[in-house]
Amino acid sequence: MITEGAEEEWLSPLLATWRGHRAWVLDRQIAITRIAAPTGNESARAQALQLAWEQGGHTVTRDAVGNVITRITPAPSGLPDATDVLAPVVCLAHLDTVFSADTPLAVRHDGPRLYCPGIGDNGRGLAAMLALAHVLHEPAVRTRLRRPVELVLTVGEEGAGNLRGARQWCDDAAASGVLPVAAVAVDGPGDTSIVHHAVGSTRLRITLSGAGGHSWADHATPNPVHAAGACIARIAQLAASVRPSAVVTVTRMHGGELLTGVPMHAWIDVDIRSLHPERLQSVRTAIEGLAADEARHESQRDPALPLHCTITSLGERPAGQLEAQHPLVLAATAATHAVGRVARSASASTDANLPLSRGIPAIAIGAGGTGRAAHTADEWYDDTDGDVGLERVLRLIITLGTTSDWTRPPATRRR
């Protein structure tokens, strides 16, 4: 049996080789970013990544929602044959972007920066997944794997996607009866932060409708746009009162049909975020109450023509957290220190939310380099030190895959 412990002796040369491949990784990142992948329409990008994995000799499958999956199993030495019953480590990276299919995706170089929508989020994470598949397939790693590593490129992570891909993967894992020992989402650039607080969210649409009419003759008819405005003002007050345990934002609004008519319809969208599931629920209840209130208040202008108020859910992302001393957070911290960086605890909303809400230890980390302005047309990525964060990802996943008892604190681990 191969002993664990003197990991640096075999791992360091392998990782050094990978530092030499940084241009290859960056090329892949640019090529991936240039394939449009709006949430719900990720298939062209999924196809390209599937092909890349297949050309590397990997067996690739798609699940019911279009997640692209490959599994690196331990080389047949010293382990039971039935590796499919071993709980895997899973690594997730989302395929989709927030940008529409017609968004120009030319990459513009400006000094060390590469500008393109989606170049960091999640072009960087996806390029790291290609590198990971190669590294895990190396005999030096495969013969040391103690459990399978499953790499999953997920659909539907952004916005209205509602973590559809991660949800499907978790549902399938639960149905198979083999839950992973840990899940790591690789999302965007970065080499220090460890997201172990999963920000949950609830997205609501408040729709108000009424009879409408002529803006002169029917001016007393209850007006859904007026009620919507009153709701927005009250949500803004609520937002100020619930910080910092929750963040509430009115993100979109629409109302009215004619310049000269009392409107028939108005709607507003509200995004509620919190680390605490019970806080999400209490803010939601408060918003439901104030919307009904304002509809009633506006309806008093003509009780014969009351406004109707309906509230629908546009998405739910479950909240959750791992304590800072959890072995998965400690393993990520160790990988961060091993590449000479100082680990930083962070909170965000990622594919890791889903496994975390199902009791599977999960974190999210960046895939190296720096970047800003994600989710805007000005998004940029800088590959200076990009190899540092990529090495952190490789180290962490290799540790989780090759250390049989990584859940014990490093000091008490068998050597």
Q: Which is nearer to Zn ion, 94 or 144 (CB)?
A: 94
**Biggest CA-to-CA distance, the chain:** 88
Q: Which is nearer to Zn ion, 187 or 294 (CB)?
A: 187
- 121 in contact with Zn ion (CB under 5 A): yes
For 43-87, strand residue ranges (E) read 60-62, 68-72
Q: Are strands 89-94 and 149-154 parallel, antiparallel or unpaired?
A: parallel
Binding region for Zn ion (CB under 5 A) out of 34-42, 185-193, 228-236, 266-274: 185-193
Closest alpha carbon to 108 in 337, 324, 379: 379
- Cα distance between residue 255 and residue 4, in whole Å: 63
Q: Which is nearer to Zn ion, 11 or 127 (CB)?
A: 127
- Cα distance between residue 385 and residue 393, in whole Å: 14
* CB 244 to Zn ion: min, Å: 23
Q: Can you tell me which of 39, 67, 70, 122 binds Zn ion, judged by CB under 5 A?
A: 122
Question: Which residue type, as a one-letter code, is found at position 350?
Answer: T
Binding region for Zn ion (CB under 5 A) out of 29-37, 74-82, 115-123, 336-344: 115-123
- 191 in contact with Zn ion (CB under 5 A): no
- 351 in contact with Zn ion (CB under 5 A): no
* CB 346 to Zn ion: min, Å: 13
Residues 40-59 that bind Zn ion (CB under 5 A): none
* CB 138 to Zn ion: min, Å: 28
Binding region for Zn ion (CB under 5 A) out of 187-195, 218-226, 309-317, 386-394: 187-195
Phi, psi (deg, nearest 5) at residue 216? -100, -55
- Cα distance between residue 347 and residue 336, in whole Å: 17
Q: Which is nearer to Zn ion, 351 or 391 (CB)?
A: 351
Q: Which is nearer to Zn ion, 121 or 383 (CB)?
A: 121
Binding region for Zn ion (CB under 5 A) out of 21-29, 121-129, 226-234, 377-385: 121-129
Q: Which is nearer to Zn ion, 121 or 391 (CB)?
A: 121
Binding region for Zn ion (CB under 5 A) out of 116-124, 173-181, 209-217, 391-399: 116-124
Q: Which two three-digit tokens encode residue 151?
A: 């790499």
Q: Are strands 213-214 and 193-198 parallel, antiparallel or unpaired?
A: unpaired
Question: Which residue type, as a one-letter code, is found at position 326?
Answer: H
DSSP track, 183-224: EEEE-SS-SSEEEEEE-EEEEEEEEEE---EETTTTTTS--H
CA angle, 342 as apex, 341 and 344 as ends, to 5°? 125
Q: Which is nearer to Zn ion, 74 or 188 (CB)?
A: 188
Q: Which is nearer to Zn ion, 95 or 268 (CB)?
A: 95
Q: How far is CA 389 from CA 185, 321, 325, 351, in A?
A: 14, 23, 22, 19
* CB 391 to Zn ion: min, Å: 21
Binding region for Zn ion (CB under 5 A) out of 61-69, 84-92, 159-167, 181-189: 181-189
Q: Which is nearer to Zn ion, 11 or 166 (CB)?
A: 166
Q: How many residues bind Zn ion (CB under 5 A)?
A: 3
DSSP track, 322-384: --TTSHHHHHHHHHHHHTT---EEEEE-STTHHHHHTT--EEEE--SSEEE-TTSTT-EEE-T
- Cα distance between residue 253 and residue 297, in whole Å: 20
Q: Can you tell me which of 187, 191, 379, 391 binds Zn ion, judged by CB under 5 A?
A: 187
In the three-class reduction of DSSP (H, G, I as helix; E, B as strand; rest coil), residue 119 is classed as coil
- Cα distance between residue 100 and residue 130, in whole Å: 25
Question: Which residue type, as a one-letter code, is found at position 411?
Answer: A
DSSP track, 133-149: HHHHHSHHHHTT-SS-E
* CB 99 to Zn ion: min, Å: 12
Binding mask 69-108 for Zn ion (x = CB under 5 A): ----------------------------------------
Q: Which residue has the tokens 């405005």?
A: 229
Binding region for Zn ion (CB under 5 A) out of 6-14, 100-108, 119-127, 253-261: 119-127
Q: Which is nearer to Zn ion, 96 or 383 (CB)?
A: 96
Contacting positions for Zn ion (CB under 5 A): 121-122, 187
